[in-house]
Amino acid sequence: MGHSEENFKINDLSKRSEKLFQYELEVDGDHLSAMIKEAEALLPIHGNTARLVLARLACLAKDVEAMRHHHYVILETAADDPASYRDFSESLRKLGFYSEAREMVRRAHELAPDDSELLRLLLKNCVTSGLIQASWHYLDLAIKANARIMTREYNFLTAAVQFFREQEVSDMELERLQQMAMAVLRLEELTPIGVLRSPAVHMELMHAPPDPTGTKNSPAQPFMMWGIQTSVRGDRLGMLNESLYQAISRSQLSQRTLSFVKIRFFHRTRDGMLSTGFNF
């Protein structure tokens, strides 16, 4: 097989795997298996390029061990390349390892501190993992680096940071909530699902109705709605949210903190979500 033909094969395979990774919520298992065989055949010649394809396909197959293995091999040979850590972060985030994903993209940022896209990703990974107040630092850096920050994202973060500071809700508590939610999913052998047009995480500041037993002038209770998209629906989704509620109830988080954050699983991103709050 000629050199140009080999290059065409790996470029075509990379584009197809990228499209699946970024745009498809559900991928056929047989199709994944066929693509994995294609990538394995190209490993001897195309090394880390084929390895990244394998890592993404393993991620889509929800094979955590294989995904980690391929990314670690890439890091062994490209430890100074920020893209190696960024790509690993994307796979970790897609499988719901939000805290690990944040730290991996932080490593990429340390290698390329002026990279505006890495700053944007670090900002969004901080928020997704629960470090909302810490994200303010990276928002400032991202703006100075002319990173792509949407107005609704800026408005949400400005309000959320102020809200949680005023209510004395710490990032540590928010991260614990996120980690409990992911633990509940993994016990059911599930992961978050999300692509560019249907994000896995949606956050929005909202107001609960006033207490009906209070006075007419009692204010509405502000809180943050934190939604995580999953593949389940109906009764199973209800049971999943009940499991999450029970896990949170058994935690040592204060009721006051929990009154300001409502975290739950949902089935599909509604169209209205994409124009409000924070999505990733």
**Helix 29-60 / helix 82-94 crossing angle, nearest 10 deg:** 120
Cβ proximity of 153 and 126 under 8 Å: no
Q: Partners of 22 in the beta sheet?
A: none
Write down the domain spans for the chain.
1-79, 171-279
pLDDT tens for the chain, residues 1 to 280: 556 788 899 999 999 999 999 999 889 999 999 999 999 999 999 999 999 999 999 999 999 999 999 999 999 999 999 999 999 999 999 999 999 999 999 999 999 999 999 999 999 999 999 999 999 999 999 999 999 999 999 999 999 999 999 999 999 999 999 999 999 999 999 999 998 888 999 999 998 765 555 555 556 789 999 999 999 999 999 999 999 999 999 998 999 999 999 999 999 766 567 778 999 9
Q: Which residues pair with 207 in a beta bridge?
A: 222
Joined together, the tokens standing for residue 222 give 């502000």
How far is 82 from 75, CA to CA, in rounded Å? 10
The domain made up of 171-279 has a fold known as GMP Synthetase; Chain A, domain 3 (3.30.300)
Rg for the chain (alpha carbons), in Å? 20
Type and span of the H or E element at 254: none
Q: Which two tokens stand for residue 144?
A: 């100075």
**Is this model's pTM higher than 0.75 or not?**
yes
Give buried/exposed letters for 266-277 (b at 16+ CB in 10 A, else e). beebeeebeebb
pLDDT at 240: 97
Q: Which 3 state secondary structure label does DSSP give 277? A: coil
